[in-house]
Chain A
């Protein structure tokens, strides 16, 4: 039980944060928060020996057993790796934020509650085996990310960024939920493990591809893949610890996690391989290309994150090919999954440190605009060193860990070009080319980021703050991460054996039975000169040339039409299409005119009923049991028709009222003719009263509006009226022409005296057989009377003081 409970520890801790903030205000609240991720790191580290042997540990807490929904803590290589990343980088980020956020000026309790909520949500996402709770935690990450991006909620840009990220990620989350539901329908379970076991049967299901695409949409929106990456640059309005934590190391990798987790189910499908690898590659290129356009330090890093996530995603797509090939050929694709996990770890380390450096630069100089910065190298030597390490690793240079994973990435991309399934023989050649170009751009922006900020002359005098080296506490976290960047380069195989191989087993469970079988040895130098090494040389050479001539060709970015961007598309959809067009559209029919609404209602009822009548072939006419028509009836009907026509076409209202009275009395006459004395009596009296009330209302019409004119003819209203009339006639005819069961009135006739002690069947039905109805009709009458009384006596708006 404790294992499941650990997921919720951050959430429980969050409850106490306002208390710490308000009562113990002399100590920065972050110190109390720090305990939580540190504890979690230690706790999850205890699982490492077991997991690295290939074991899985599972613990379950039933939540809604009748629906098969439970909280699960499922630890295998993949989820343990993510859990350690979340808690480890979480600890470093909290430590960093203690120095970044001011104790007295910021609402720390809010900040740390959101952060802890997020931590809980991420742990839940990566450990959930149940798709419903996975979705629950997934949305919690969206919500807490929304709150964190909008943390400085008095800034317009923060609110805009928060809204944008939420719109996109929640839309994706909804798609994903749809995919989950389809999957659970196919496999009849919410458990991912059980679905993986059924994977071979699921492929043949019709819903399979739909579920695949929906789940991928969820993963792509969360992981900022093309074309959904647009929220990530705007999310940079968040405080830098948040950017470092959410938007480089953890949340954006939730989509990566999802793709990795579902690979065993979906990798059988060609669509999956193509979508994941092509989208990833396109995102990689797009992100790296547009990173150079950015002027904001965090903007560069945001595009760089987008690009690196694309890299990991494309590797996962290529890794899925391992399901389709056998023998020696497949080993290279197994390699791709390994490279994806490896780069995921590397990216978390170097991108986390780079974000922290960007935050430090912002904090110490007061600006993040790269055009104003420069020459900070001698002032901030530690930050510069960390930035150099992070950037070189991002560019893929030795001796940093990015070099190793970049080499593996190139290897995987070269091998896919030689792969001859799913049309890869035709298009596959593009993969290494695009990857190589993207890597060149990655190299350039990495240099651009670090050297434009720290070298050159710069205008140190003109910066908003006088820059100086950051406090030691703020440097601890980036230095630790940068240290890892270097260390991982030298000991990649220890990392591989403990973390990566178990994680690869989770992605490709059919291929191995224990982590030892994964026969991959990472080495900086393979002892031979391979194609990818030449490619790296090419990247460095071309990258250096392009970087040195950057000033000449960076203007090229201005050539791109500023109107045709995805951001403008988003703005158009949200603000033009939804806000304005939809408002205009609903303004078209929601006019506030009751006549119009009546036309909609009556018209649609008429159309629906008439259509149903003929679609169901229910229309019948038969005059079999119709009674003969007698002359006096014809006369009364003529009077009725004349009265009705006069009511509709009369010029003056008083004529209409009198004609209406005529209709009422004629109806009463009908009741007489059809042997309904009670009805005739009541109709007569009621008609008199209502005509009197009409006259009363007529008398009180305001003078200035009392225009004597005919009702204007409107074609649409005439159409609706005729349609309703036709409908009622057709229904009445059909209903009369086909009676399936006899009337129950025989029973009343027989028992009216013997059981009810009465002679007037109508009245006995009213007060005895069906007295219940009468009771409430009387109540209706009483309510109407009291309503009129209240309306007239209690006119608060006009005679408020008189009451």
Chain B
């Protein structure tokens, strides 16, 4: 008998975006308020897990055709690249740069290379969590 979980699936579709945007918020707010790449990544992963629970692995893989291992690699390269960038200008490894810009719509905003590093962390966390869950889930 095929169970009918239409309420579950419908709710998941809605809640996924709420969780995802909360994760994005956590990520961007990290520099000033609690949050950051690590928690943001974990929450993003939990949003995807919700989708997997509501639908199934195959479906989610077609919706989000992401190779999570590549994601881990990209995250690591980004983190390392941000940290190494300063070496090209003669500064020590891991020197960050930031400044304030007047952006359209957002107004006066600070842009910080630490955010790029945090993005690397975010990608690795999402990638690793999803790799673990996916491989264990696929295993019979």
User: Is there contact, CB below 8 Å, between B34 and A677?
Assistant: yes
User: Is there contact, CB below 8 Å, between B76 and A778?
Assistant: yes
In the bound complex, CA of A758 to CA of B96 (Å): 12
A68 within 8 A of B: no
CB-CB under 8 A for A786 and B35, given A757-B112, A778-B76, A793-B135: no
In the bound complex, CA of A784 to CA of B127 (Å): 11
Which residues of A have CB within 8 Å of B94?
771-772, 775
Which residues of B have CB within 8 Å of A756?
96, 98, 114
Chain A interface, DSSP helix/strand/loop, else mixed: helix
CB-CB under 8 A for A681 and B32, given A689-B42, A778-B121, A782-B124: no
Which chain A residues in 399-448 approach chain B with CB under 8 Å? none
Which residues of B have CB within 8 Å of A681?
26, 34-35, 39
Stretch from A520-528, A709-717, A759-767 that touches the partner: A759-767
User: Is there contact, CB below 8 Å, between B36 and A792?
Assistant: no
Instruction: Out of B75, B80, B114, B127, name the residue touching A767 (CB < 8 Å).
Output: B114
> What residue of chain A has the Cβ atom nearest to residue B137's Cβ?
A696
In the bound complex, CA of A222 to CA of B125 (Å): 67
User: Is there contact, CB below 8 Å, between A781 and B42?
Assistant: no
CB-CB under 8 A for A782 and B98, given A689-B42, A764-B31, A766-B36: no
Which residues of B have CB within 8 Å of A639?
none
Which residues of A have CB within 8 Å of B39?
678, 681-682, 685
Which residues of B have CB within 8 Å of A766?
36, 38
Instruction: Out of B26, B96, B110, B128, name the residue touching A768 (CB < 8 Å).
Output: B96
B33 within 8 A of A: yes
Which residues of A have CB within 8 Å of B72?
782, 785-786
CB-CB under 8 A for A785 and B127, given A759-B33, A778-B75, A792-B139: yes
Digit string of B100-140 for contact with A (CB within 8 Å is 1, else 0)? 00000000001010100110110011011101100110010
Which chain B residues in 20-75 approach chain A with CB under 8 Å? 26, 30-39, 42-43, 46, 69, 72-73, 75
B12 within 8 A of A: no
A788 within 8 A of B: yes
| A504 CB → nearest B CB, Å | 73
| A683 CB → nearest B CB, Å | 10
| A20 CB → nearest B CB, Å | 61
> What residue of chain B has the Cβ atom nearest to residue A771's Cβ?
B94
A686 within 8 A of B: yes
Instruction: Out of B35, B80, B128, name the residue touching A784 (CB < 8 Å).
Output: B128
A789 within 8 A of B: yes
Which residues of A have CB within 8 Å of B69?
785-786, 789
CB-CB under 8 A for A778 and B36, given A759-B31, A789-B131: no
Instruction: Out of A688, A762, A772, A781, name the residue touching B128 (CB < 8 Å).
Output: A781
**Interface hub of A779, A781, A792 (most chain B Cβ within 10 A):** A781
A774 within 8 A of B: yes
Which residues of B have CB within 8 Å of A757?
31, 98, 110, 112
| A455 CB → nearest B CB, Å | 89
Instruction: Out of A775, A785, A792, name the residue touching B83 (CB < 8 Å).
Output: A775
| A661 CB → nearest B CB, Å | 16
User: Is there contact, CB below 8 Å, between B96 and A760?
Assistant: no
Which residues of A have CB within 8 Å of B129?
689, 785
User: Is there contact, CB below 8 Å, between B128 and A767?
Assistant: no
In the bound complex, CA of A784 to CA of B76 (Å): 14
Which residues of B have CB within 8 Å of A771?
83, 94, 96, 114, 117
Which residues of A have CB within 8 Å of B131?
785-786, 788-789
Q: How many residues in B have their beta carbons less than 8 Å from beta carbons of A?
A: 43
User: Is there contact, CB below 8 Å, between A686 and B42?
Assistant: yes
Digit string of A745-764 for contact with B (CB within 8 Å is 1, else 0)? 00000000000111110111
| A495 CB → nearest B CB, Å | 79
Instruction: Out of B73, B112, B127, B128, name the residue touching A758 (CB < 8 Å).
Output: B112
Which chain A residues in 474-511 approach chain B with CB under 8 Å? none
In the bound complex, CA of A778 to CA of B26 (Å): 18
In the bound complex, CA of A792 to CA of B76 (Å): 23
Instruction: Out of B96, B98, B132, B139, name the residue touching A785 (CB < 8 Å).
Output: B132
Q: How large is the interface on A (under 10, 10 to 19, 20 to 34, 35 or more residues)?
A: 35 or more
Instruction: Out of A758, A781, A788, A792, name the residue touching B32 (CB < 8 Å).
Output: A758
In the bound complex, CA of A779 to CA of B94 (Å): 16
Digit string of B5-31 for contact with A (CB within 8 Å is 1, else 0)? 000000000000000000000100011
In the bound complex, CA of A678 to CA of B33 (Å): 9
User: Is there contact, CB below 8 Å, between B76 and A779?
Assistant: yes
Which residues of A have CB within 8 Å of B80?
775
| A773 CB → nearest B CB, Å | 10
Which residues of B have CB within 8 Å of A688?
46
| B115 CB → nearest A CB, Å | 8
User: Is there contact, CB below 8 Å, between A767 and B117?
Assistant: yes
In the bound complex, CA of A782 to CA of B128 (Å): 6
Which residues of B have CB within 8 Å of A778?
75-76, 79, 120-121, 124-125
User: Is there contact, CB below 8 Å, between B34 and A678?
Assistant: yes
Which residues of B have CB within 8 Å of A764?
31, 114
Digit string of B78-91 for contact with A (CB within 8 Å is 1, else 0)? 01100100000000
> What residue of chain A has the Cβ atom nearest to residue B26's Cβ?
A681
Which residues of A have CB within 8 Å of B73?
782
User: Is there contact, CB below 8 Å, between B125 and A781?
Assistant: yes
User: Is there contact, CB below 8 Å, between B42 and A760?
Assistant: no
In the bound complex, CA of A771 to CA of B96 (Å): 10
Instruction: Out of B37, B96, B98, B136, name the residue touching A792 (CB < 8 Å).
Output: B136
In the bound complex, CA of A785 to CA of B125 (Å): 9
User: Is there contact, CB below 8 Å, between A788 and B42?
Assistant: no
In the bound complex, CA of A689 to CA of B42 (Å): 9
> What residue of chain A has the Cβ atom nearest to residue B99's Cβ?
A757
| B41 CB → nearest A CB, Å | 9
| B121 CB → nearest A CB, Å | 5
Which residues of B have CB within 8 Å of A785?
69, 72, 127-129, 131-132
In the bound complex, CA of A759 to CA of B32 (Å): 4
In the bound complex, CA of A784 to CA of B124 (Å): 11
User: Is there contact, CB below 8 Å, between A775 and B79?
Assistant: yes
In the bound complex, CA of A774 to CA of B37 (Å): 11
| A414 CB → nearest B CB, Å | 86
Which residues of A have CB within 8 Å of B139?
792
| B46 CB → nearest A CB, Å | 7
> What residue of chain A has the Cβ atom nearest to residue B122's Cβ?
A778
Instruction: Out of A682, A772, A789, name the residue touching B38 (CB < 8 Å).
Output: A682
In the bound complex, CA of A759 to CA of B69 (Å): 33
Which residues of A have CB within 8 Å of B121?
767, 774, 778
Which chain A residues in 669-718 approach chain B with CB under 8 Å? 677-678, 681-682, 685-686, 688-689, 693, 696
In the bound complex, CA of A256 to CA of B122 (Å): 77
Given contacts A767-B117, A772-B94, 14 further A-B contacts (CB under 8 A): A681-B26, A682-B39, A688-B46, A689-B42, A696-B136, A758-B112, A759-B31, A760-B32, A767-B96, A778-B121, A781-B125, A782-B73, A785-B72, A788-B132
What are 14 contact pairs spanning A and B, CB under 8 A? A678-B34, A682-B38, A688-B46, A689-B129, A756-B114, A760-B33, A766-B36, A767-B114, A774-B121, A775-B117, A781-B128, A782-B72, A784-B132, A785-B129
- Measured CB to CB, the residues of B under 8 A from A are 26, 30-39, 42-43, 46, 69, 72-73, 75-76, 79-80, 83, 93-94, 96, 98, 110, 112, 114, 117-118, 120-121, 124-125, 127-129, 131-132, 135-136, 139
Closest 5 CB pairs of A and B: A785-B128, A759-B32, A677-B34, A757-B98, A685-B42
